[in-house]
Amino acid sequence: MMMIELLFQGLTLGGLYGMIGVGLALSFGILRVVNLAQGELITIGAFLAVGMISLFPALPLALVLAGAFLGCAALGVAMQALAVERAMAFRDPMVAMLVTFGLAVILRNALVESVGANLRGLDIGGLGQARVTFGGLSLGLLPLLTLGIALLSFGGLALLIFRTRFGRQVRALSDRPEIAELMGIRIRRVHAQVAALSAGLAALAGVLLAMRASVSPFSGVAHLLIAFEVVVLGGIGSIRGALGAGLLLGMTQVVSARFDGNAGLLYVHLVFFVILVLRAISGRLS
Amino acid sequence: MIRISELLVLAAGLMAAILGALFIDSGLLFLLCEVLVIFLLAQMWNLLAGFSGQMSLGHQAFVGLGAYTLFYIANHTAIPLWLVLALVPCLIGLLAIPLGLVMFHLKQAYFAVGMWVVAEILMQLTAKAQWLGGTSGMTLRPGGTMLSGEPERPAFAIAAFGAVALVVALRVFLRTRLGLATLALRENEAAAASAGVDVKRLHLILFCLTAAGTSAAGGLYYITSLYITPQDAFQINWMITMMFVTVIGGLGTLTGPALGTIILIGAREAMTAAGYSGGQYWIVMGAAAVIVLLLAPRGLWPALAPRIRAAFTTSTKSKA
């Protein structure tokens, strides 16, 4: 029974980690920029939800998620249009990454200045304790909901990328940017849309994370590192890879928290590092 | 080899370091020590990121490693504190060899964030290590007794002479065969490789050198603060400072980090005096870094230096 509970928790957390990772993979795969502000976007999504709930306690979850998604998407577009797009014009790809590092520092400290440095949790009323029973198996409603939303987001993203005109443009841009431009794709617009989508996904994951555990303005770094680990382990541009890597890390986190309560993300980072060393030794690293 | 003018600079630096340590008052010495440590750290990060093109976002790992190694050896052995400070960079430099061999399998952005993960692992391992004091940290008690006297005076002398010596050493280094290879690497990695530069070996050498230098500067900083915790020694703010100083001042130049240190510390002191909070200071610095990157991606010094030189030559010409 405990095993099943543990597996289930790992599964839901893993879905969330995968979501964080896929947002980062999207911007890295398409824009060729590692967005170091991704962790901050996740945290801001969480705080947007906290703010909305404290203003309108009766707001349905769907609207909270939509609000956080739109808020962070707007922020993502603004960052892309004002700073990152310009930085991408330089020959050295590291310039754009450093710009996002600067933006992350600005966002983190702006968040501290506006909401304070305290930990906040998302108050979701009775939802946190509610349980549902399947054939003698009692599962928390919240983790179930989280997993559902995560899987829906993955499915929606896959549909968007592989089945729509926008997705075709994105894939074309990712494969051959110059030729995509020749074919009449408006690159800057697609870039802005991808930045919005990536930031919106970050916000969704942020809201769901804040329902599990409290967040602080300084949570961004931990979130960014998880996202990065998911991208490296799962491979860029692979939605399924991101889900698999998220599950591995989520499972690690849940199991290690059972045996060593105050280790934070130590074991997640260690698992990542060990896999990295193994890949380095066997030479299976791109 | 080393030029007469550089020997003179070294001698002047040594004089200034000793005189400063003897006569400047203690409060100012603490600030100057911090300024010099930040300059040393930024110069190390610059050597790796600006010259070798390996951008690390985890160099705070070496600050923490250096400081903890120093505290542990000094507290548990009879080796004199300042000798331990000389030992630390050798140990951390050696430790960096296997780390570099693994991390260099990651390229560019992957390497940068991968190093960050390493720093995070080290911070949490240190916090769990009860023999290092766990989360509550350690006090510096060389040989089991409290440090007597004013450690900021010798620390300042070492930092000041270290800063001058580092710049001179880098200038000399850049004239050697290996240094020329480094410059070639800065300009174009592929071209350098095709001209016969062993890029991997050079990357590893520079990685270890900067790890050693960073650990020494970190150790020096925590000698003046006498107390260390994992949260403080491995904090991301070390990295942010190194990066902002270098990026604002000038990546891949020796003068850039000096200019950047003056700008960052000057702005911090001015903003603190005017009553702004730490958060507001970092917002302003973040904005400054982003703006500089967008307008002059190599930093202020490379953008300004030709104009300053041009202004000088025209003014001397018009006089003549």
| Every domain of chain A and the residues it spans | 2-282
Comparing alpha-carbon positions, the chain B residue that sits nearest to A228 is B113
Beta strand extents in B66-216 (DSSP E only): 138-139
Please give the pLDDT value at position A41.
95
Query: Are the beta carbons of A101 and B109 separated by less than 8 Å?
Result: no
Instruction: Report the alpha-carbon distance of residue A117 to residue A135 in Å, rounded.
Output: 44
Please give the pLDDT value at position A126.
67
Query: Are the beta carbons of B282 and A265 separated by less than 8 Å?
Result: no
Mutate one of B277, B293, B298 to test the A interface: name it (highest A CB count within 10 A): B293
At residue A205's C-alpha, the angle toward residues A199 and A206, to 5°, is 85
Closest in A97, A106, A229 to B286, CB measured: A106
> Is the CB of residue B178 less than 8 Å from the CB of residue B202?
yes
Of the candidates A175, A169, A223, which has an alpha carbon nearest to the alpha carbon of residue A43? Answer: A223
Distance from CA of B78 to the nearest CA of A (A): 34
Q: What is the pLDDT of residues B116-175, one digit of tens each?
A: 999 999 999 999 999 998 888 898 888 777 777 788 888 999 999 999 999 999 999 999
Please give the pLDDT value at position A134.
73
Identify the three-state secondary structure at position A285: coil
Instruction: Report the alpha-carbon distance of residue A165 to residue A160 in Å, rounded.
Output: 8
> Is the CB of residue B221 less than 8 Å from the CB of residue B37?
yes
B108: left (phi over 0), alpha (psi -120 to 50) or beta: left
Please give the pLDDT value at position B318.
58
**A32 contacts in B (CB within 8 Å)?**
none
* Residue ranges covered by each domain of chain B: 4-234, 236-303
Please give the pLDDT value at position B212.
96
Instruction: Report the alpha-carbon distance of residue B63 to residue B67 in Å, rounded.
Output: 6
Q: What is the pLDDT of residues A53-88, one digit of tens each?
A: 888 888 888 899 999 999 999 999 999 999 998 988
Residue B138 bridge partners (DSSP): B228
Mutate one of A40, A86, A98 to test the B interface: name it (highest B CB count within 10 A): A98
- DSSP of B28-78, one letter per residue? HHHHHHHHHHHHHHHHHHHIIIIIS----S-THHHHHHHHHHHHHHHHHS-
Mutate one of B105, B187, B235, B285 to test the A interface: name it (highest A CB count within 10 A): B105
Please give the pLDDT value at position B42.
95
Query: Are the beta carbons of B117 and A228 separated by less than 8 Å?
Result: yes
Query: Are the beta carbons of A93 and B57 separated by less than 8 Å?
Result: no
Residue A246 bridge partners (DSSP): none
Distance from CA of A118 to the nearest CA of B (A): 14
Please give the pLDDT value at position A109.
94
The reported pTM is: 0.91
Please give the pLDDT value at position A286.
46
Please give the pLDDT value at position B36.
94
**A106 contacts in B (CB within 8 Å)?**
282-283, 286-287, 290
**B279 contacts in A (CB within 8 Å)?**
109-110, 112-113
Mutate one of B290, B295, B298 to test the A interface: name it (highest A CB count within 10 A): B290
Distance from CA of B51 to the nearest CA of A (A): 13
Which residues of A fall below an 8 Å CB-CB distance to B? 28, 34, 36, 83, 86-87, 90, 92-95, 97-99, 101-106, 108-110, 112-113, 221, 224-225, 228-229, 232, 263-266, 269-270, 272-273, 276-277, 279-280, 285
Quote the tokens at residue B5. Answer: 């003018």
Query: Are the beta carbons of A99 and B287 separated by less than 8 Å?
Result: no
**A112 contacts in B (CB within 8 Å)?**
279
Comparing alpha-carbon positions, the chain A residue that sits nearest to B111 is A232
Query: Are the beta carbons of A225 and B293 separated by less than 8 Å?
Result: no
**B244 contacts in A (CB within 8 Å)?**
102
DSSP 8-state assignment for residue B146: P
Q: What is the pLDDT of residues A239-270, one digit of tens each?
A: 788 888 999 999 999 888 888 877 778 999 99
Closest in A28, A105, A273 to B117, CB measured: A273
**For every one of its 286 residues, what pLDDT tens digit does chain A have, with 9 covering 90 and above?**
677 888 888 888 898 898 888 888 888 888 888 899 999 999 999 999 999 988 888 888 889 999 999 999 999 999 999 999 898 888 788 899 999 999 999 999 999 998 888 888 777 766 667 777 776 677 778 888 888 898 898 889 889 988 999 888 888 888 888 888 888 888 889 999 999 999 999 999 999 988 888 888 888 888 999 999 998 888 876 778 888 899 999 999 988 888 887 777 899 999 999 988 888 777 765 4
Low-confidence ranges of chain B (pLDDT < 70): 315-320
Of the candidates B35, B69, B62, B65, which has an alpha carbon nearest to the alpha carbon of residue B47? Answer: B62
Quote the tokens at residue B38. Answer: 């930040």
Closest in A113, A225, A285 to B116, CB measured: A225
Instruction: Report the alpha-carbon distance of residue B260 to residue B248 in Å, rounded.
Output: 6
Quote the tokens at residue A31. Answer: 């824009």
Distance from CA of B286 to the nearest CA of A (A): 5
Query: Are the beta carbons of A102 and B244 separated by less than 8 Å?
Result: yes
**B121 contacts in A (CB within 8 Å)?**
266, 269-270, 273
> Is the CB of residue B13 less than 8 Å from the CB of residue B161?
yes
Q: How many residues does chain B have?
A: 320
What is the architecture, at CATH level 2, of domain A2-282?
Orthogonal Bundle (1.10)
Question: How far is the first Cα of chain B from the last one, in angstroms, to the nearest whole number?
Answer: 35
Residue A108 bridge partners (DSSP): none
**Segment holding A38, helix H or strand E:** helix A38-55
Query: Are the beta carbons of A105 and B277 separated by less than 8 Å?
Result: no
Closest in B240, B280, B294 to A87, CB measured: B294
